[in-house]
Amino acid sequence: MPSEADSLVAALRGTAPIFSFEFFPPKDDEGEAILWQTIADLEPLQPTFVSVTYGAGGTSQERTVRITSRIAEQTAMRPVGHLTLVSQTKGEIESVLKQYAAAGVDHVLALRGDPKGGPRAPWESHPDGMTHAIDLVELASGLGGFRIGVAAFPEGHPDAQSLQHDAEVLVAKAQAGAEFAITQLFFRAADYFSLVERVRALGSDIPIIPGIMPILNFAQVARMAELSGAELPREVLDEVEPIQDDKDAVRAKGIELATKLCRDLLAGGAPGLHFITLNRSKATREIFEALRATGDL
């Protein structure tokens, strides 16, 4: 396990806001080449950490683990390794954890993951697997050597009984060993701050990092929001719908809206920002540089 001074947790509890980048696993070698160029473009910004997700339904695990390990071994960036429960036995998940440990990846993000049929499909556990993210937190914590993060949902997990119950689940994961959380994409700062208030009211001080996805392609982001249970607010739609057929205008407006959201979050006390890059560096750099130019980061 990293020393406390070198951990992501220490950075999150510091005075300066952290920032991080999330990448998707490429589907082929061409996509992987684009990803590595994006990583090279963003590394000079010195992010606090980076992460590579699994593909839909737990696919791409081998490529994700390999890329995450290579980031640890060949760059100066701290990778956070993704883990999900989808279609895996407990032994297979332990094997992934050991692969991460062998590569020097000592921070992990423990997620249930989306069912193979998509986020809205019924969950089906592997007969020799686990059912809830808290089970994965307990497994990683029991193995030792890891700092563990989990997912958080400003608008509630699609399966949650209520927003309050969703907050209680996050607090339970913290009590089981999780030390930080990263949110699903969202578009209203108020939704994030309401989640933080619910968690704090339950007595937990787990740092919650907001996940930021700029609207660069209206149809794509609308679909991702629908699948994840996030709402595209009316005030956002009012700005984007009139220009949705103009790709350049949508991109410019998306960057403008994301930059404002980031400023509102940081001004309200968020510990940092987690940029969902879609494996492209240009928009992320534009938002980052706008925030840095005004002293927000």
Candidates 3.40.50.300, 2.40.30.10, 3.20.20.220, 3.40.50.720; correct CATH number of 4-293? Answer: 3.20.20.220
Residue 22 designated active-site: yes
- State which amino acid sits at residue 150: V
pLDDT at residue 63 tops 90: no
Amino acid identity of residue 88, one-letter, is: Q
Question: How far is CA 136 from each of CA 92, 143, 211, 237, rounded to the nearest angstrom?
Answer: 12, 11, 21, 37
Q: Is the pTM of this model over 0.75?
A: yes
Could you give the CA distance from residue 169 to residue 135 in angstroms, rounded to a whole number? 12
Top-confidence residue, 210 or 295: 210
Q: Kindly indicate the confidence band of residue 55, based on its pLDDT and cuts at 50, 70 and 90.
A: low
Structure tokens at 208: 């919650």
- Domain positions in the chain are 4-293
Whether 160 has a pLDDT exceeding 90, the answer reads no
pLDDT digits (tens, 9 = 90+) for 161-178: 999 999 999 999 999 999
pLDDT value, residue 231:
83
Neighbours of 122 (CB within 10 A): 7
Rounded average pLDDT over 202-220: 94
With bands split at pLDDT 50, 70 and 90, how would you rate the model's confidence at 120? low
* CA dist., res. 176 & res. 60, Å (int): 28
> Which listed residue (4, 22, 94, 179) is catalytic?
22
